[in-house]
């Protein structure tokens, strides 16, 4: 009887784990999630469970490297590339809160003091969330919001606590005010217990164009897919999305 109970308990545990993995596979996050500490993995599952409030961001140049190269990019993204020293593997966006968040891993290439990250590595992560939350949450009509529709012009960071090489933290950035095209953003880098490693207030200019021309690439908009729980740029076709999200 004891053996049967133990076997049933193990089967139930494996069933729970399979369900959790399937939930992460639905958003294409199974491999990335396995690299996260348990507390961040729990947060990701919480966001995934509220897919009408939290959308995984799918920017094609981060996910489809062959498309990225054919579309004019010359290398990997500084923050979202697979070999990045400061790596944000994915973001979730809450439209209601105008909040963008995701995990940040600090690799050996970010080292400064022995075993500790360079302050610029922390600031780079802050700069990234500042720009992308503006692209997603700014209120503009001509042109409408879309990928790379804006530019960061000011980043003020306060570095409060050293980050160790190999550490993974939570990055959150929120639009707090908009005056015409000026978008004010606050962000923070936090640990499991809510301890703040860095805080930022910054400014982006919504709608600023850094490239001339009006190609299809510059005209992309955001598509909110409530069925899949993702927000993706309009360059994706349904077959490409199904390949990335086979369980979606």
187/100 Cα distance (integer angstroms) = 9
Exposed/middle/buried for residue 246 (C-beta within 10 Å: 0-12, 13-18, 19+): exposed
By DSSP bridging, strand 150-159 and strand 182-190 are unpaired
Q: What are the pLDDT digits (tens) for 98-156?
A: 999 999 999 999 999 999 999 999 999 999 999 999 999 988 656 678 999 899 999 99
159, two tokens: 């570095």
SS3 category, 152: strand
Query: Which tokens belong to 77?
Result: 């993204």
Global pTM reads: 0.88
Pairwise pLDDT comparison (200 vs 8), residue with the higher score: 200
Calculate the CA 178 to chain-centre distance: 22
Closest CA to 87 of 72, 70, 71, 108: 108
236 closest CA partner among 211, 208, 217: 217
User: Is pLDDT of 57 > 90?
Assistant: yes
For residue 12, what pLDDT band results from cuts at 50, 70 and 90? very low
Give the residue with greater pLDDT, 222 vs 31.
222
Residues 6+ apart with CB under 8 A from 82: 76
Pull the structure tokens for residue 150: 């804006």
What is the per-residue pLDDT across 180-228, written as a single tens digit (0 to 9) for each?
Answer: 999 999 999 999 999 999 999 999 999 888 887 778 888 899 999 998 8
What is residue 25's predicted lDDT score, i.e. its pLDDT? 66
| Rounded Cα–Cα distance for residues 108 and 118 (Å) | 10
What distance in Å separates the CA atoms of residue 127 and residue 156, rounded to the nearest whole number? Answer: 9
């Amino acid at each position: 009887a004891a053996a049967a109970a133990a076997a049933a308990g193990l089967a139930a545990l494996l069933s729970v784990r399979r369900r959790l993995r399937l939930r992460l596979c639905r958003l294409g996050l199974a491999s990335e999630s396995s690299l996260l500490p348990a507390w961040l993995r729990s947060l990701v599952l919480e966001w995934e469970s509220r897919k009408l409030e939290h959308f995984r961001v799918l920017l094609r140049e981060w996910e489809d490297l062959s498309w990225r190269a054919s579309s004019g990019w010359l290398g990997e993204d500084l923050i979202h590339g697979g070999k990045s020293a400061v790596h944000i593997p994915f973001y979730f966006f809450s439209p209601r809160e105008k909040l963008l968040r995701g995990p940040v891993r600090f690799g050996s290439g970010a080292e400064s003091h022995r075993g500790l990250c360079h302050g610029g590595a922390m600031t780079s992560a802050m700069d990234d969330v500042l720009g992308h939350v503006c692209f997603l949450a700014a209120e503009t009509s001509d042109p409408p919001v879309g990928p790379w529709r804006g530019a960061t012009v000011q980043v003020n960071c306060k570095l409060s606590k050293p980050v160790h090489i190999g550490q993974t933290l939570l990055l959150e950035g929120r639009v707090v005010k908009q005056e015409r095209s000026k978008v004010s953003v606050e962000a923070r880098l936090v640990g499991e217990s809510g301890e703040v490693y860095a805080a930022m207030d910054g400014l982006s200019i919504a709608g600023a164009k850094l490239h001339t021309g009006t190609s299809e690439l510059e005209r992309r908009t955001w598509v909110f897919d409530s069925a899949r729980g993702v927000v993706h740029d309009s360059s994706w076709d349904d077959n490409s999305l199904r390949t990335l999200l086979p369980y979606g």
